[in-house]
A and B are shown apart, each in its own frame.
Chain A
Amino acid sequence: MGMFDGLIMFGHSIASFMTPTAIGYALLASLVGLIIGALPGLTATMGVALMTTMTLTLQPNEAILILICTYVGAIYGGSRSAILLNIPGTPASAASCLDGYALARQGLAGRAMGIATSGSVLGTWIGMFFLATLTPVLGEVALKFGAYEFFWLAVFGVVISGNLTGDDPLKGWIAGFLGLFIATIGQEGLYAHDRFTFGYHDLSGGVALLPALVGAFGFAEVLTVMRDKPRDVVLNSFDTVIPRIRDVLQYWRTIIRSGVIGTGIGIIPGVGEDVAAWSSYAAARRASKEKELFGKGSVEGLMAAETGDNACVPGSVIPVLTLAVPGSAPAAVLLAAMLIHGVQPGPLIMINSPQFVFDVVAMMLIASIGILIYGLTLTNLLVKILQVPQTLVMPVIFVLCVVGSFALASRVFDIYVMLFFGIAGFLLRRLNYPMAPLVLGIVLGDLLDKNLRRGLVLSDGDLTPFFTRPISVVLFLLIAATVLLNIPVFHRAAVSLWKQASAPFRRTTRPDQPTSRRPHD
């Protein structure tokens, strides 16, 4: 497909959303997303899951529009509480706390919110650009995927997500493999044979993704918030929230770099906005001329974090569309919602429904306009909402968790699934197990199961195709490298090898270079 065809399709998509209903839905959903994101304890995943329930009866395109606006709004909204309260509204805004709150303490909360608005909007646009250009390319590559490649892709997703989403890769991998196991419960895909159901009829259908997600990200969060005594809300005063053109022009390199990093992190399966924000922040700091300001109110740092996390949103949708593999936890909900509404994402999407891909790009644009509008206007209302005591908010959220998990299939059993995952998720998080790999494991389990067995049957038990086909061997090497680099002996060997190999190319050596992956560890 040529660039021109793409632009025409994009134009069609934009035009199709220019109806009063669609615009109304988009504005409402962006607002709901913004509030969900701003309220600590309510994450984007939870928000998108609840909205999936609410939009079950709508037209597919309207429903997906609402979900994407909620997703973008929530990731942006998290910056508000990060700046005003020093509490990240969603995990994606944790990096924004460092400089956002520091700016607010200097009486510059308005400017900080302006930076967050411009960074988030521009980040969404950069991600959107890659969504439009990379999806067809990745779709082509995905067409070459056979059973062996899909098997490695599933393993790769769980391993890389486990490696990057927490600070303990081993626990991340355990969570991921636990997710893969949970996905095997119920009827398997080849012979419809019941596995681990113990004769319990409700388990035959398997563990549904959305109730599990609502439990792990909703109920678990409710318990976490209710457990702690509520803190007094101390708000900073703020100046004007209108973004300054100078902040954008001065840091255009940071914005583009963070946008590219954010999109890239989004594409990696199961690695979401929080990692995107931290990675962009760390990269900006490394490249910055004003390193000493980072953490003390750096405009550049806040810009990097906010651009990175919002660029991750379109990025995480790219693998959803091309491979049916979610790039982040909220994208997993989006994937489930697309399946519910009869859209079939996967390698064939550019052949069967290319228009849908550009519809999604258009939805991102509309969502970014939504957050821009609210970013400029709604500050006072949001400040009031942030002052509502959490004792009042959390019980209602739990009621919504119950509604959300029940309504999808009208099964009471799904409420129990939600309760189980809520309590298990709460305990696992207390023990430092990340939730994103677990969710990704549940999503990818079926892919892994079917394709491993299919591959083995095709090769009659011969393992060579798993290691000799070009894409397979690349995925396998990436997995092996990820695992080995976490084993101290191999890590040291790799570091010394790298030093020896790169010595001739370096002019100066920097012994003080930090080796830790993430700045907040």
Chain B
Amino acid sequence: MDDRKPSAFADFVSGACWVALAAAIMIGSWRMDRLEHLQASIYSAPGVVPGLIGAALALMGLVLMLRAWRAGALAGAGRPRIVWSEQARLLIAVALCLAFAIGLVGRGPPFWLAAAIFVAVTVFAFQFPERRAAGTLARGALVAVVYGLVAGYAVHYVFQELFLVRLP
């Protein structure tokens, strides 16, 4: 886990998000059907519990905002600046994972092939800087493809053949 503590500003923003979410939950709970036509007791209405949870979340969100405000969240100090180049690895990882899970799985190719493509592309992408520096891009591509195929088939074999689990 990351050792760096988030800034007061980040806490203030997350507190505000919780308050907004809690408000939405409370409104949704209030407007929820109270099932009076079923002669249900008002205390067993479906909205009771989410409404109370929403109220508790709102209270805690407000306390968090207050705490962050007192810690100087709005004084401009500690306001984060996102440097996109530092986040490149993260963004590539998210993009590849989403592309695989949403774009590839269950959209035509059998699972082992989809997994093989994903693993190969990801391994190649994340080894790219070192491979390029070392001048072994072609070898890297080959390693990635072979590794991807082995991994894809191994997952298919272990789950589907050995343990009879259905794959997407």
Contact = CB atoms under 8 A, between A and B. Distances in A.
Interface of A: 53-58, 91, 170-171, 173-174, 177-178, 180-181, 184, 188, 190-191, 193, 195-196, 219, 222-224, 226-229, 391-392, 394-396, 398-400, 402-403, 406-407, 410, 412, 415-416, 418-419, 422-423, 429-433, 448-449, 452-454, 456-457, 460-461
Contact of B33 (A53, A193, A394, A429): A193
Given A195-B32, A448-B49, A227 B97 contact: no
Contacts of B118: 395, 398-399
A54 B162 CA distance: 9
B49 A453 contact: yes
A173 B58 CA distance: 12
A501 B54 CA distance: 40
A453 B101 contact: no
Among B6, B101, B158, find the residue whose CB has the most chain A CB atoms closer than 10 A: B101
Contacts of A400: 155
Given A190-B46, A398-B100, 9 more contacts: A57-B164, A177-B57, A191-B44, A399-B152, A402-B101, A403-B168, A406-B105, A407-B166, A410-B166
Contact of B168 (A188, A412, A423, A457): A412
A393 to B, nearest CB: 10
Given A54-B163, A395-B118, A448-B49, A402 B6 contact: no
A392 B53 contact: no
Contacts of A193: 32-33, 35, 46
B145 to A, nearest CB: 13
Nearest to A396: B151
Nearest to A446: B49
What does DSSP make chain A's interface, helix, strand, loop or mixed? helix
B77 interface: no
Contact of B2 (A177, A403, A430): A430
Contact of B119 (A396, A423, A453): A396
B6 A430 contact: yes
B168 to A, nearest CB: 5
Contacts of B44: 190-191, 453-454, 456-457
A438 B158 CA distance: 31
A399 B90 contact: no
The 9 residue pairs across chains A and B that have the minimum distance between CB atoms: A456-B43, A226-B93, A395-B122, A227-B90, A395-B119, A449-B49, A453-B44, A193-B46, A391-B126
A403 B151 CA distance: 13
Contact of B64 (A53, A171, A177, A224): A171
Contacts of B57: 174, 177-178, 181
A431 B10 contact: yes
Contact of A453 (B14, B43, B152): B43
Interface residues of B, number: 68
A170 B46 contact: no
23 contacts: A91-B1, A177-B56, A180-B53, A181-B50, A190-B46, A193-B46, A195-B47, A222-B93, A223-B97, A226-B93, A229-B89, A394-B122, A395-B122, A396-B151, A398-B118, A402-B105, A403-B159, A406-B168, A431-B6, A431-B11, A453-B45, A454-B44, A456-B43
Nearest to A226: B93
Nearest to A406: B168
A89 to B, nearest CB: 13
B102 interface: yes
B43 A461 contact: yes
Contacts of B50: 181, 184, 195-196
Contacts of A188: 46
A449 B158 CA distance: 40
Residue with the greatest number of chain A CB neighbours at <10 A, chosen from B1, B28, B47, B123 = B1
Given A57-B165, A91-B1, A181 B127 contact: no
* Max chain B C-beta neighbours (<10 A), residue from A58, A412, A418, A429: A412
User: Which of A55, A391, A399, A452 has the most CB atoms of chain B within a 10 A radius of its CB?
Assistant: A399
Nearest to B164: A57
Contacts of A431: 6, 10-11, 14
Contact of B89 (A56, A181, A228, A454): A228
Given A415-B101, A419-B101, A456-B43, A177 B151 contact: no
Interface in B94-151: 94, 96-98, 100-102, 105-106, 111, 115, 118-119, 122-123, 126-127, 147, 151
A195 B50 CA distance: 9
Contact of B28 (A91, A196, A430): A196
A396 B112 CA distance: 12
B89 A399 contact: no
A349 B97 CA distance: 42
Contacts of B126: 226, 391
Contacts of B151: 395-396, 399
A276 to B, nearest CB: 17
A399 B119 contact: yes
A402 B99 CA distance: 12
B48 interface: yes
| Most chain B beta-carbon neighbours within 10 Å: one of A91, A173, A226 | A226
